[in-house]
Amino acid sequence: MFRPPEHPLILSVLIGVGTQIITMLFLSIIFAWLSFEDENNRATFVTSLLVFFIFMGIFAGYYSARMYKLFKGINWLRCTLLTAMIYPISIFTVFLIIDISLAMEESSASVRTSEIFVLKFLGWICGYF
């Protein structure tokens, strides 16, 4: 009953990412409730979501490493690196697949290739992707 899970690394990473997303959403709801965001300008809300997501990475790394150490894990650095990379990489992959399918249909909703490279470069600078 009180044994560690079979895959403590994966569980710890998922707990860390979940902590990051929940705290990001909680802060966003609080800021929207206090009317810090302009209702007419959605770009500020999206920017605040991205900033909160980046800063809540601190909590994600802490909680995932702490949980991994609780399960007697040895390589906690690998755990924090996976926590920092697994969610942004999966979201970017889904975005890329949808964008490629939109570009194949010649839709105006597809993102230009130069903008994708700029996003990739900014993500690389911030430590993600």
* Short-list 27, 74, 80, 76, CA closest to 55: 27
Q: Which residues in the chain land under pLDDT 50? A: 129
Residue 122, domain member (yes or no) = yes
Residue 2, domain member (yes or no) = no
Residue 74, domain member (yes or no) = yes
Residue 3, domain member (yes or no) = no
Kindly give the interhelix angle for 57-70 and 8-33, rounded to the nearest 10 degrees.
Answer: 150
Q: For position 129, what pLDDT does the model report?
A: 46
pLDDT tens by residue, 72-107: 888 888 998 898 888 888 888 888 888 888 888 888
Residue 81, domain member (yes or no) = yes
Please state the domain count of the chain: 1
List all residues 6 or more positions away from 53 whose beta carbon is below 8 Å from its beta carbon.
Answer: 20, 21, 24
Residue 48, domain member (yes or no) = yes
Structural domain that includes position 25: 8-126
